[in-house]
Amino acid sequence: MTRSVLEEQMSVESDEQQELCSPAERERSAEGVTGGGGEEEEDRLHHLEEDEEDDEEEEEEEEEEDGESKPKRRGPKKKKMTKARLQRFKVRRMKANARERNRMHGLNDALESLRKVVPCYSKTQKLSKIETLRLAKNYIWALSEILRSGKAPDLMSFVQALCKGLSQPTTNLVAGCLQLNPRTFLPEQTPDLPAHLPPVGASSYPGHFPYQSPGLTAGLPSPPYGTMDPSHIFHQVKGQPYGPLEPFFDGVLVSDGPAFDPPLSPPLSINGNFSSSFKHEAVAATDYDKSFSFSVHYGGGGAGGHPAIYGSGGSNPRCGDLQVDGLMGFDGHSHHERLMNAQLNAIFHDS
DNA sequence: TAGGCCATCTGGTCCT
DNA sequence: AGGACCAGATGGCCTA
């Protein structure tokens, strides 16, 4: 049976399946795994199986005819696609398709679960699959690094770690959702000097985050969706203006919520550059600190900051009064927030 | 309109 | 034989 013939004969089935391609239909189809739309498919399968049994004799007759009319050939017997066999094939294919759909739905469910536990979750605008996986990987690494070092990270390092390898739009998104100005944690790109390289004479590099990822790729584009609830990372303690994380905000957060200049204009071009900055940082870091740990304080300038990455080395002029309260209110996940806060604050308070 | 993302179908391979 | 898993192909939807 050639593919073309098969395709022709299967076209009806394919068309029926394709009808489920609209999101609403898919929804119904997914629900139908345990009933509803699934019953129709079950019925069709049942009918096909009945037809198949009816054709059993016919099939045998056809095979006998084949044996008499044509000379025997060596090698594996290539069965002719009789009507019954075709029916069986269709049933098999439909079952396989259903299994495959369910399998993929399970995979997507797992991915959705993952979306809810990475620090960028929105019910309305989801991260793409690939970005979800990348962010999750970064998040795991960052948290494990905190555990390993036992020290609280500075915000920039943490965000950098989260954004590592993410596409530019997603990186911008993460920054925006954190109400960070990406320019404060992304390397400035100057034609003369690679922004990610330490300046001459810069010996200390306390805020580094030498994350190296195997198979690192330049960020792939992805739509700008999703939000990051900063409460995943920060927690304000009542009675303390900015909580125990105050140092982390220095020079990072944009002052006065509304002052946040959301659309990055022009959009940052960080592909490759951002990623490579980590590589270079990693190389540089190994020179003086084999075991990296987050620095507790980000000085925002001088030798204590990220002079190489963040350009001027001076404190961020935009850094003003911090309003943590203004950070709340994203499309966050309450349960997620609590978990995240518990995890991170345990770390931060202990450090 | 091009490109990204996605769901689905499909055939191949491996395993039970 | 049948199921799980995988990767390629395809077409739909959405956005810049």
Q: Please give, one letter per residue, the 3-state secondary structure of A217-252.
A: CCCCCCCCCCCCCHHHCCCCCCCCCCHHHHHHHCCC
Q: Tens digit of pLDDT per residue, chain A (351 long)?
A: 333 334 444 444 444 443 333 343 444 343 333 333 334 444 444 454 444 444 443 443 333 333 333 344 444 455 566 777 788 888 888 888 888 988 898 888 888 888 888 877 777 678 888 888 988 999 899 999 999 999 888 888 888 888 888 887 777 767 766 667 666 665 533 333 233 333 333 333 333 444 444 333 333 333 333 344 444 444 333 333 333 233 333 333 333 332 233 322 222 223 333 333 333 333 333 332 322 333 222 223 322 223 222 223 333 323 322 222 223 333 444 455 455 555 555 544 444
A21 touches strand C (CB under 7 A): yes
Q: Is A289 helix (H, G, I), strand (E, B) or coil?
A: coil
For chain A, the straight-line distance linking the first and the last C-alpha, in angstroms and rounded, comes to: 69
pLDDT of the residue at A340: 54
Element (H, E) at A51: helix A37-54
Q: What is the pLDDT of residue A79?
A: 59
pTM, to two decimals: 0.54
Type of residue at A280: H
Q: In Å, what is the separation between the CA of A221 and the C1' of B2?
A: 14
Q: How far is the CA of A14 from the C1' of B6 (A)?
A: 18
State whether the beta carbon of A123 lies below 7 angstroms from any atom of strand C: no
Nucleotide minimizing C1' to CA distance for residue A97: B9
Strand C proximal residues, A:269-328, Cβ < 7 Å: none
**Strand, helix or coil for residue A180:** strand
Closest residue (Cα, C1') to C10: A18
Does the CB of A92 fall within 7 Å of any strand C atom? yes
- Asked whether residue A37, judged by its CB, lies under 7 Å from any atom of the DNA or RNA strand C, the reply is no
pLDDT of residue A179: 66
What pLDDT is recorded for position A24? 38
| Beta carbons of A304 and A204 less than 8 angstroms apart | yes
- pLDDT value of residue A147: 92
Q: What is the pLDDT, as a whole number, of residue A140?
A: 92
CA A207 to C1' C3, whole Å: 51
pLDDT score for A117:
86
As a rounded value in angstroms, the CA-to-C1' distance for A313 and B5 is: 40
Residue A214 pLDDT: 37
Q: Is A74 exposed, middle or buried (0-12, 13-18, 19+ CB in 10 A)?
A: exposed
A77 C-beta less than 7 Å away from strand C? no
Distance between CA atoms of residues A228 and A223, nearest Å: 15
Q: What's the Å distance between residue A271 CA and nucleotide C14 C1'? A: 23
Contact flag, residue A79 CB and nucleic strand C, below 7 A = no
Q: Is the CB of A96 under 7 A from strand C?
A: yes
**Side-chain-facing half-sphere of A323: CA atoms under 13 Å:** 11
Instruction: Tell me the CA–C1' distance in angstroms for A96 and B12.
Output: 13
Q: Give, for A7, the enclosing helix (H) or strand (E).
A: helix A3-18
**Phi, psi dihedral angles at A92 (to 5 degrees):** -60, -45
Specify the amino acid at residue A274: F
Tokens of A239: 């009675």
- The per-residue pLDDT for A291 is 29
